[in-house]
Structure 1
Amino acid sequence: MPFSCPLCHAPLNRRENAFVCPQRHQFDIAKEGYVNLLPVQHKRSRDPGDSAEMMQARRAFLDAGHYQPLRDAISALLQARLPEQADAVLDIGCGEGYYTQAFAAIAEQHGACTFGLDVSKAAIRAAAKRYSQVMFCVASSHRLPFEDNSIDALVRIYAPCKAEELARVVKPGGVVITAAPGPRHLMELKGLIYDEVQLHAESAGEIAGFTVIGQQSLAYDMTLTGQQAVALLQMTPFAWRAKAEVWETLAATEDFRCQTDFSIHCLQRDN
């Protein structure tokens, strides 16, 4: 296991139902199979990340297949770029594991273990209960609890992360695959919330210490039920800006048409 101690940064070794470092810092493995590597002093709030309600809404939306084209596109990139013999694949900001379990099937073909990381304990608990083939951990994407040069491929879908942390944990020659909103992503949904809808800024996908080796755009239309549209809104960062009448309008809608627009980049760690 490439885990490192979040307190002293020494390697963590598994001992029965816990991970322990040489300094005897111990992190127990929960009954669901995940490990909490987020010390209380690294938390910005009492219960950071998505709530159980937000996680359940996202799981229902994703299970319906609305973002499967995105999962398929990233999976194809991972399959093409992962070395024939690999050690570890990491999905940061993995949420309830919808994408991670697809990446795990690819990693297994290459002899690699798959790790999922999220700051939300509710999301990680749900992910670990459903996808036992993945080692999930509660941790901050800004303080990755992994050893230097230990990850062959890292996937980052929307999740923030410091460039120096990515460069630290990804092996030289390893890859990072990112997905971010394209300019017209969810325009119709935003139109219900904002008086003036701004396009997302175009992203060059550049990360210090990495070279962009591939870029693609993915856009398609969705037709959602009112319940699915409400779940989608719950997944977005602008849900907090939506007034009560927006939620009511969406819930009462029979068919809500909305466009997606994703920007996907593949980068390689510089040697």
Structure 2
Amino acid sequence: MPFSCPLCHAPLSRREKSFVCPQRHQFDLAKEGYVNLLPVQHKRSRDPGDSAEMMNARRAFLDAGHYQPLRDMITDILQVRLSTQATAVLDIGCGEGYYTQAFADIAQQHGAQTLGLDVSKAAIRAAAKRYPQVMFCVASSHRLPFEDCSIDGLIRIYAPCKAEELVRVVKPEGVVITVAPGPRHLMELKGLIYDDVQLHPENSGEIAGFNVEEKQSLAYEMALSGPEAIALLQMTPFAWRAKPEVWEKLTATDEFRCQTDFSIHCLQRES
């Protein structure tokens, strides 16, 4: 397991139900099987990340299959690009594990371990309960608790992360797959909230220290029920700006049509 101590950065070793570093910093496994590697001094709030309510909305929406085409495209890329000698695959900002579980199926074919990281304790707890084949941790994507050059394949769906941290943890010639919103992503939803709807800026996918090997776009229209549209809104940063009448309109609707637009890039770490 390529974990490193979030306090002193030394390697962590597994000892029964905990991880311990040579400086005797100890991090116990929760009963669900995940480990919390987010020290109090690294938190920006008491309970950072998605709340339990937001996590439940995300799980309901994803379980309905609305983003399955995106998951299928990412797993197809990972299947082709992951080294046959891979030992570790990491999903940053994994949430409740919908995508991570699919990546684990690919990693297992290579005999590799799959790791999921999110700053939300509620999301990681739910993920660990449902997907025991993945090792989940609560941690910050800005301070990755992994050893240098320890990750063969890293997936980042919307999650922020410093380029230098990606360069540090990904092995030379390892792959990073990123997903960002395309220009017209969720335009109809934004139209309910903003008077002047702006397109998302084009994403080049470039990250210092990596070469862009592949770029793909994925766009399709979703037909959502009222509860599904509400769940989608709860998943987005638009929720904070939505007025009560927006929530009421979506709740009452029989069908809400909304387009997706994803920008997917596959990069390779420079050797």
TM-score of the superposition, structure 1-length normalised?
1.00
Q: Read off the aligned partner of 2:251 and give its amino acid letter.
A: A
Moved over 4 A (4+): none
Letter of the structure 2 residue corresponding to residue 144 of structure 1:
L
Asked if 1:61 is matched to 2:61, the reply is: yes
Q: How does 1:105-116 map to 2 (within 5 A)?
A: 105-116=105-116
C-alpha deviation, 1:245, in angstroms: 0.3
Q: Distance in 1 between matches of 2:16 and 2:220?
A: 47
Deviations 1:199-255 (A, max 9, x none): 000000000000000000000000000000000000001110000000000000000
Q: What do residues 50-87 of structure 1 show as CA deviations (whole Å, max 9, x unaligned)?
A: 00000000000000000000000000000000111210
1:161 is the counterpart of 2:161: yes
> Helix, strand or coil for the counterpart of 1:192?
helix
Which amino acid is 1:228 matched to?
E
Match runs of 1:38-53 below 5 Å: 38-53=38-53
Q: Partner residue of 2:198?
A: 198
Partner of 2:93: 93
**Which residue of structure 2 lines up, in the alignment, with residue 245 of structure 1?**
245
1:30-64: per-residue Cα shift (whole Å, max 9, x none)?
00000000000000000000000000000000000
What is the CA–CA distance in structure 1 between the aligned matches of 2:192 and 2:251, rounded to whole Å? 13
Q: Cα offset for 1:173?
A: 0.2
| Residues in 1 aligned to 2:237 and 2:155: alpha-carbon distance in whole angstroms | 20
Following superposition, the deviation at residue 10 of structure 1 comes to 0.2
Deviations 1:120-168 (A, max 9, x none): 0000000000000000000000000000000000000000000000000
Deviations 1:89-116 (CA, angstroms, capped at 9, x unpaired)? 0000000000000000000000100000
- Deviations for 1:163-212, whole angstroms, at most 9, x for unmatched residues? 00000000000000000000000000000000010000000000000000
Displacement of 1:88 after TM fit? 0.1
Q: How does 1:6-85 map to 2 (within 5 A)?
A: 6-85=6-85
Q: Aligned pair 1:234/2:204, yes or no?
A: no
Distance in 1, matches of 2:175 and 2:26, equals: 31
Partner residue of 1:173? 173
Distance 1:17 1:216 in 2: 42
Name the aligned partner's letter for residue 83 of structure 1: S
Matched with 1:122 is 122
| Cα-Cα RMSD | 0.3
Aligned to 1:137: 137
> How many pairs were matched up?
271
Structure 2 alignment gaps of length 5 or more? none
Give the share of equivalent positions with the same residue, in percent.
83
- Structure 2 Cα separation of the partners of residues 270 and 82 of structure 1: 15
Instruction: Give the distance between the partners of 2:107 and 2:147, measured in 1 at CA.
Output: 19
Q: Does 1:267 align with 2:252?
A: no
Q: Distance in 2 between matches of 1:209 and 1:7?
A: 26
Q: Give, in whole Å, the separation in 2 of the partners of 1:195 and 1:247.
A: 16
Separation (CA, whole Å) in 2 of partners of 1:233 and 1:121 = 21
Deviation of 1:259 (Å): 0.2
- Is 1:216–2:190 an aligned residue pair? no
